[in-house]
Amino acid sequence: MAKETKQQLLEEGMKMLLVRGYHDLGIAAVLDATGIPKGSFYHHFASKEDFGLQVIDLYMSEVHAGLAHFLGDESRPPLERVRAFFEATQDKYRGDGYLGCLLGGLGQELSGVSDVFRRKVEWCFGEIAKGIAGCLDKAVRRGELPK
C-alpha cells in the first residue's frame, strides 16, 4: 500500500507540475486531488523540494522508456527514430493537455533560484541528449547526415 500511495502522489504531482509549475503548486492541492492525508505525504517526502525531485525521476523514467522504444527500433533508419520520438512526445503532451516538457518548464522556473533543481534538470537533459546523439551518430555513419 505504501508504494501505491507514493506512486499516486508522484503521478498526480507530475500532472499538476506540468499544468501549474513548481511555485504555483501547493502540497495541499496534491493531497486534495489524491485524497491522501498530509502525514502520508511527509512519510514519503522530506519536503516539497524532495517531492519535486522525485517527480522529475518519475518523468525521466517515462522519457527513458520512450527513448528506448523509439531510438532502439532498429527496423527504422536513425533519423526516423529521432523524429518518431519527438512526434510521439509532442502527441502525448497534446493529448494530456500539457503545454510542454516538465524539464523545460522547471528549468525555466527554478534554474535561477535553486542549484539543486538546476543540476537535476541539466543532468536530465544531458541523458536525453546522449540517447539522441547516439542515434544521430548512427545516421552519420550511414551517410544520412553530414559529419
CA angle 62, 132, 60 (to 5 degrees): 20
- Most confident stretch, 2-16, 35-49, 96-110: 35-49
Q: pLDDT tens, 67-79?
A: 999 999 999 999 9
pTM comes to: 0.89
Does the domain made of 2-141 have the CATH classification 1.10.1370.30?
no
Q: Where are the domains of the chain?
A: 2-141
What number of CA atoms fall less than 13 Å from residue 109's CA on the CB side?
16
Please tell me what DSSP assigns to residue 46: S
Picking from 2-11, 23-32, 83-92, which range would have the lowest pLDDT averaged per residue?
A: 2-11
CA angle 59, 122, 110 (to 5 degrees): 80
